[in-house]
Amino acid sequence: MTAAQPAPSRILIVDDDPALGVVLDALLRQAGYLPRVVQSGPAALAAIDQHAVDVILSDVKMPGMDGLDLLQALGERRPDLPVVLLTAHGTVPLAVEAMKRGAADFLLKPFDRDELLFVMRKALAAGDRAAAAPNLPPGGLIGDAPGMREVRALIERSARGQATIMIRGESGTGKEVVARAVHEASPRRDGPLVKIHCAALPETLLESELFGYEKGAFTGASTAKPGRVELADGGTLFLDEIGDIPVPMQVKLLRLIQEKEFERLGGRQTLRVDVRFIAATHRPLEAMMARGEFREDLFYRLNVVPLWLPPLRERSGDVALLARRFCAAHGQRNGRPGATIDDQAVALLADQPWPGNVRQLENFVERLVVLSDGPAIGVAEVREELGRQATPGPRPAAPSGPLTLEERRRQTERGALQDALKQARNNRTVAARLLGVSRRTLYTKLEEHGLL
């Protein structure tokens, strides 16, 4: 027995041109996606309240609410939903403005089918990463432990200059939050903060994402397109997971950092940019250098200002601040404004090791908010949830006849989905968090089991 195919990702197309909407719908449907077309920004906002959406592909020039206005509205209502802008008026200033407002990417008309599908895949991956990121307050860090006071002091001192910063620490400690805090405290705060996730792309695609490309540089490059480096001109470029880039690409990145010069893929003109670089990684770069996996010269160029984020187990005194902040935020989102967590419960949380750091603590507190009934979360509820994580759930009822391993897996998976939906009161975003998966994965599984 073979497993069911994953449900197609859902893409909302927003364009006031009905003919283009038909073309985009057909292209995406042929590629295995499930598109839906609306013709205005307000219709798009209504659609995301009524239907599951994984990515929005929106035109920029529309009457009334244009694509940039829609992008801003979506940032307030669904900041984790990736938005790709499609325009015939593609200029670097427009792309910079789109990135500053939170666009995942942009496409220029006329577009190529391969490029369209590539951008959709990137946007879907970006949505999954956003869903998994810690939900810390923009522009700031929570915590008063000595390690966090040192981090804030380093941010304040280093933000004023131009030196490259290397943020290091375990996954889930908030490295992107630190990068944003540095940018917002710097003289470049009015410029763009452009991010690129180096681990998410193979070498050839990483090069075109960083440096852009000229028309005809490769199959599907029907127009020239600026890369992330150009889009960050006058601002900050955040290179997340820098330890994952292959060695040949490290050579090109070193030249960029040293000379502030580069060429687009397929181009001959040398371009100069005014960019500040911030890099981040959880990888042991010193050991990688010893194995020849990371260039020493690049390491020293990046590591001008090293900034280490302590793991949560080394600042247990901050757990109370974080837990109460997360409790208030998720109480508001889940229809429980004013939800609190008592001192004994917080003390028990502070005693846990939290290997997943701030991200794991946030997910745990959200589960407590969703599952508890009283006005305050108590120590008994924390113990119950800790026990639920540490021990396997009850076995399903014995089947009347023998089942294959695949049938047993599907039966157990379906039960877990139903339990999560019940606990989350059918809020699918919360259910995804309870299960530790992205919202897109949840919809795929719901579709697979006929639970949509």
What is the dihedral sign for C-alpha 414, 420, 424, 425? positive
Q: Give the residue with greater pLDDT, 47 vs 411.
A: 47
pLDDT of residue 113: 83
Are the C-beta atoms of residues 305 and 154 closer than 8 Å to each other?
yes
pLDDT of residue 25: 93
CATH annotation of 10-129 = 3.40.50.2300
Q: Give the residue with greater pLDDT, 145 vs 201.
A: 145
pLDDT of residue 140: 55
Are the C-beta atoms of residues 14 and 67 closer than 8 Å to each other?
yes
Q: pLDDT digits over 173-186, tens only? A: 889 889 999 999 99
Residue 290 has pLDDT above 90, yes or no: yes
What is the dihedral sign for C-alpha 12, 18, 19, 20? negative
248 CB-side CA count, 13 A: 5
10-129 against 403-452: fold identical = no
Lowest mean pLDDT across 133-142, 259-268, 419-428: 133-142
Q: Residues 287-297: what's their mean pLDDT?
A: 94
Domain spanning 146-310: CATH superfamily: P-loop containing nucleotide triphosphate hydrolases (3.40.50.300)
Question: What pTM, to 2 d.p., does this model score?
Answer: 0.71
Please provide the average confidence, as pLDDT, over all residues in the chain.
83
**SS3 of residue 358 by DSSP:** helix
143 CB-side CA count, 13 A: 26
Domain 315-391: which CATH class? mainly alpha
Residue 429 has pLDDT above 90, yes or no: no
Please report, for the chain, how many H helices and E strands are present, in that order.
19, 16
Q: Residues 146-150: what's their mean pLDDT?
A: 90
DSSP conformation class of 241: T
Residue 440, Cα to own-chain centre: how many angstroms?
13
Q: pLDDT digits over 376-426, tens only? A: 899 999 998 888 765 444 444 444 556 666 667 777 777 778 877 777 666
pLDDT band of 1, cuts 50, 70, 90: very low
pLDDT of residue 2: 44
Residue 443 has pLDDT above 90, yes or no: no
What is the dihedral sign for C-alpha 408, 409, 414, 415? positive
Joined tokens for residue 72: 């801003």
Considering the domain 403-452, what is its CATH architecture?
Orthogonal Bundle (1.10)
In the chain, the percentage of residues whose pLDDT exceeds 70 is 85
Residue 135 has pLDDT above 70, yes or no: no
DSSP 143-192: --SHHHHHHHHHHHHHHTS---EEEE--TTS-HHHHHHHHHHTSTTTTS-
What is the dihedral sign for C-alpha 231, 237, 240, 242? positive
pLDDT of residue 391: 47
366-to-374, 384, 424 alpha-carbon distances in Å: 15, 14, 10
Q: pLDDT digits over 307-334, tens only? A: 999 999 999 889 999 999 888 888 877 7
Q: Residues 129-133: what's their mean pLDDT?
A: 56
Residue 4 has pLDDT above 60, yes or no: no
Residue 42 has pLDDT above 90, yes or no: yes
* Domain residue spans of the chain: 10-129, 146-310, 315-391, 403-452
Residue 64 has pLDDT above 50, yes or no: yes
